[in-house]
Structure 1
Amino acid sequence: MSLAAEEVTQQPRSRRWLALAILMLPVLLVTVDNTVLGFALPKIAEALHPSASQQLWMIDAYSLVLAGLLISMGSLGDRKGHRKLLLIGSLGFTLVSVMTAYSSTATQLVAGRACMGIFGAMLMPSTLALIRSVFDDREERRLAVAIWATTLTVGSALGPLVGGILLEFFNWGSIFLLAVPVLVPLLILGPWLLPESEPDASGPMDVISIVLSMVALSALVYSIKHVASEGPDAWALATLAVATVSGWQFVRRQLRLPTPLMDLSLFRNKTFSGSVTINLMSLAFLIGFVFFATQLLQIVLGMSPLNASLALIPGQLMAIVVGILIVPVAQRVSVNVLIPILLAFTAGAFLLVASLGSSLTVIVVAFALLNIGVGAIATVSNDVILSAAPANKAGAASAISETAYEVGVVLGTTVLGGLVTAYYRGTLHLPDFLTPVQMHLASETLAGAHAISTNLAHDQASEVMGNAIQAFVAGTQLMAWATFSLAVLAIVIARRTLKAQEAASV
């Protein structure tokens, strides 16, 4: 046990839980930022006129950079101290968020989101690692990890609600200014409440590994996005090849280095590797659902941002309640039984959308089912991941957990969102009365079709929107069937990798 942890156990219990509350602020903000932008896309499309590719990059630039740096920042925190890294990240995230709020072009917004990802990567591994420093008592730490994991899911689920409320009364830039009131309390109280973790002077960080991990992730996501917007071609294959070679070289390098950036030996534990995989897939399901649900509610069903966000409250409440109530259940039920049951709820959510369409009732019920599964999975899987790692590798283990989370976010928008976009572009039929510019905008995204329809005559607007909605809804149903199949695959993975394991230690 570290000296920092020994000092904390002598502190009052109330101070430890206040420290946890402060730690949850950046967790909540970073996860809210993963989904809040989805609700602002229609307004951003009207103001900045982004292409379909730019819209996807607006969402994914943040998660992509964050995912690429999480492992590096987790290792840096292990070496330099997690509290120091957390405070630096909070300050940088706040300043960049304010600048991004006043972007005047789509390119500026994408660049701002990427910079936010850099500082966001400093926040997430540090929060989970500091929990081990703050809570030395195992029972308290179990509950603290459950709260942390629940906050991950709740933050993602709250994104649409927060976005809907802000967009009802302010412009789209307000969603980025949210960082100021959330992170300023951490900057003020963090130095007083949070202990510094004991530095691990195990060796310097490997810059080549950092570059390889970022190139592999960036090239993979770019390839998928290119296929979604332009179709498969030589450039898509070339970037996919770059991703494959970089990823292979990254793994080889980690296996050779005496002090690797990512400790791949952790994946020899089936429970650890299975939990990481399920964590990634479940978050991809959640983000993919939010990607199309926000557009269905606002554009297809014609709801205001506030009313659309209120429609998702039942699901958000489910995430909060289930994330806490799953704790006693997870102590009694084996993870190879519990997690497949929870994944069945996520599969049921997409089966509803695939078979019954996209009415308001279907979306509300499906989102609630999805959050029952994802909310509980986040609690169980993250505790398993953290418990499987040695104390001096807490930052590395939490970074792997958070990398899986953020890669899941990226894949949710890139793969699932890209599937909807590709189907929309491939099946949309536009009338001849549109100008070439209008045809281009309408064929890029549903938001683009909605934007040009506001300047058309009523009959013309109805025809354009009717065709656009038909293509988009059909695309969401195709994506729902694909995601249902992936959820069934996740159930199989959980049964095979988590078999013969005891109940979780949540």
Structure 2
Amino acid sequence: MTTTATPRAGKKEWTGLAVLAMPTLLIAMDMTVLHLAVPSLSADLQPSTAQLLWIMDIYGFLVAGLLITMGTLGDRIGRRKLLLAGAAAFGVASVLAALSSSAEMLITTRALLGIAGATLMPSTLSLIRNMFHDASQRTVAISVWMTAFAVGGALGPLLGGFLLNHFWWGSAFLVGVPVMVILLVLGPVLLPEHRDREAGRLDLASVALSLVAVLSMVYGLKLTAEHGFGWSPGAFVALGLAAGLFFIRRQGRLADPLLDLKLFRERTFSASAALLTIGVLVMAGSQLFTLQYLQLVNGLSPLQAGLWSLPNAAGLMAGAMTAPALAAKLRPGFVIAAGLLLAAAGLGMLLLVSAASGLGILVAASAVMGLGLGPMAALGTDLIVGAAPPERAGAASAISETSTELGAGLGIAVLGSIGFAVYRGQIAATMPIGVNDEAARESLGGAVAVAGELSGEAGAALLTVARDAFVQGLHTTAIVGASVAVALAVLAATLLRNVQPESGEH
């Protein structure tokens, strides 16, 4: 009896990984760089409040809504083909966005960027699955891919700030053009083509249902984060759940489903997807409050806040890059569990932060949280992709990315709602006499704006109670997040206990 050794990746595959990391880095940058450009583009294009919200949100909405469709489409037509087509579309849309002469044009081009962006993430991740067959090498490759995403998120505000200090707001969109040109030149040479030759046609009804389900859920969660629980957010979430239920039922009846539900029968796959979703929930919910603390409590500019956020990104990168070496010796479930316990400790450190002081503690806590969550992000993604058969790599990659998007939305909505509810309750009991402004009761940002319009003593008093109330909300979300992280650690150690070192297999 003879056995065939699993082929190991060589220089060409590792060089190809560097090419795949570039669009990943760019996507993460594009999600953050626009925030700094809002003041200058608002002065130039003069969008209405509703238009500005669509400029900010439509990109992320369409990326989240189309991930499943694009991941499955890549399985059908070829992952490299979809990646290169998406790269070309992204480059063209970036130029059009930079040259936008009206709010309507910028909304449209941002939508095109979202559609193109949805092709990039699942394509890059699924190609990694096809290029790195050895489990240990694949774990390292996905950790590099995850690190590129973290680097992009950290560089976005810094590069955006530099460009906006020297050029017009449209320059922020042009960063992606040379990256896409490089991808289009090197991609056909370094990246293999791969598709499922037995895949059937794309079911358009399933595409529509998946789009409605994800978009409605994400939009409902966003409304919840902004305005709290209510009829309007609840209606969108209910619509998303209903569309999701119809989508799942339809997949079970189709001969060629858009999403193969058999993937979820694999315990490693389903457990990793759940852990990734809830783990990102903790990450996004905590970052919502730490970033506001830096700007609204410490009074830092967005660029300064971005600089003080770098330790969090560095921790995430370090955690993601050390995870493969640990997982080669220990069971991945135990590595993820240990990381989550470390993240819980970092969240616990936030209880030492006060309104009067705590910048150093908060930055250190953020670094510890990133270090602890890095293994979960890298190994969780690796286990999802590795548990799926190669011909379903695109669909598995899309599920991984969708889990991340939904986790981020849930984190902002759930933990955000809890923290802001504490803020509103606390400030209602401590509001200075003579100050009765609804904006100050709703958020710390509103309180800072109102304080700026008041006389010296009244404004200072409002700022003091508002910042104290915000810190109470920060403490509450830290306690909830730490509790969730500990529970996830137990689940990871239990549900993934059979996954052996250096392998995503049982």
Fold agreement, TM-score > 0.5: yes
2:346 — aligned with what?
A: 349
Q: Secondary structure at the match of 2:192?
A: coil
Counterpart CA distance in 2 for 1:262 and 1:99 is: 33
* TM-score between both structures, scaled by the size of structure 2: 0.84
| d(CA) in 1 for partners of 2:415, 2:43 | 24
Question: Aligned partners of 2:359 and 2:255: how far apart in 1?
Answer: 55
Instruction: Tell me, yes or no, if the aligned pair for 2:62 and 2:114 is still in contact at 8 Å.
Output: yes
Segment of structure 1 superposing worse, 36-45 or 418-427: 36-45
Partner of 2:482: 484
- Cross-structure match for 1:93: 90
CA contact (8 A) 2:319 2:373 kept: no
Deviations 1:309-353 (CA, angstroms, capped at 9, x unpaired): 232333322222332222121011112322111111221222222
Partner of residue 322, structure 1: 319
Identical counterparts, % of pairs: 40
Q: What does residue range 138-177 of structure 1 map to in structure 2 within 5 Å?
A: 140-163=137-160, 165-166=162-163, 174-177=171-174
Is 1:338 the counterpart of 2:350? The answer is no
Contact 1:316 1:371 in 2 (8 A): yes
Q: State how far apart, in whole Å, the 2-side matches of 1:365 and 1:308 are.
A: 14
Q: In structure 2, what is the Cα distance between the partners aligned to 1:384 and 1:418?
A: 31
Judged with a 3 Å threshold, the aligned counterparts in structure 2 of structure 1 residues 137 and 269 are, in CA distance, closer, same or farther, namely closer
Shift of 1:500: 2.9
Letter of the structure 1 residue corresponding to residue 400 of structure 2 = S
1:182 and 2:179 are equivalent in the alignment: yes
Query: Aligned-pair RMSD on alpha carbons?
Result: 3.6
Range 367-376 or range 231-240, more displaced: 231-240
Question: 1:41 deviation in Å?
Answer: 7.2
Query: Residues 171, 476 of structure 1: CA spacing in aligned structure 2 closer, same or farther, 3 A cutoff?
Result: farther
Structure 1 residues 228, 405: closer, same or farther in 2, change over 3 A?
Answer: closer
- Identify the structure with bigger relative contact order (alpha carbons < 8 Å, sequence gap 6+): 1
Matched with 1:409 is: 408
Greater CA drift, 35-44 or 208-217:
35-44
Match of 2:62 among 62, 65, 69: 65
Amino acid at match of 2:493: R
> TM-score, normalising length from structure 1?
0.84
Residues 136, 324 of structure 2: 8 Å contact kept:
no
Which amino acid is 1:317 matched to? A
- Between the aligned partners of 1:191 and 1:432, the Cα distance in structure 2 is 68
Q: How has the CA–CA distance of structure 1 residues 260 and 79 changed in structure 2, closer, same or farther, with 3 Å as cutoff?
A: same
Matched, 1:369 2:368: yes
Offset at residue 42 of structure 1 (A): 8.4
**1:43–1:300 CA distance, 2 compared to 1 (3 A):** farther
Alignment: residue pair count: 493
CA shift in 2, pair 1:312/1:22, >3 Å: same
Distance 2:499 2:340 in 1: 17
Alignment of 1:146-295 (within 5 A): 146-163=143-160, 165-166=162-163, 174-295=171-292
Distance 1:494 1:469 in 2: 36
Contact 2:335 2:375 in 1 (8 A): no
Structure 2: runs of 5 or more not aligned: 1-6
**Secondary structure of the corresponding residue to residue 303 of structure 1:** coil
Residue 121 of structure 1 aligns with which residue?
118
Q: Aligned AA for 2:269?
A: F
Query: Where do 1:454-473 residues align within 5 Å?
Result: 457-459=455-457, 461-473=459-471
Deviations 1:61-96 (A, max 9, x none): 433322221111011111111122112222333343
* Structure 1: runs of 5 or more not aligned: 1-8
Return the alpha-carbon distance in structure 2 between the equivalents of residues 356 and 50 of structure 1.
38
Instruction: Look up the equivalent residue of 2:368 and give its one-letter code.
Output: L
- Which amino acid in 1 is paired with 2:323? I
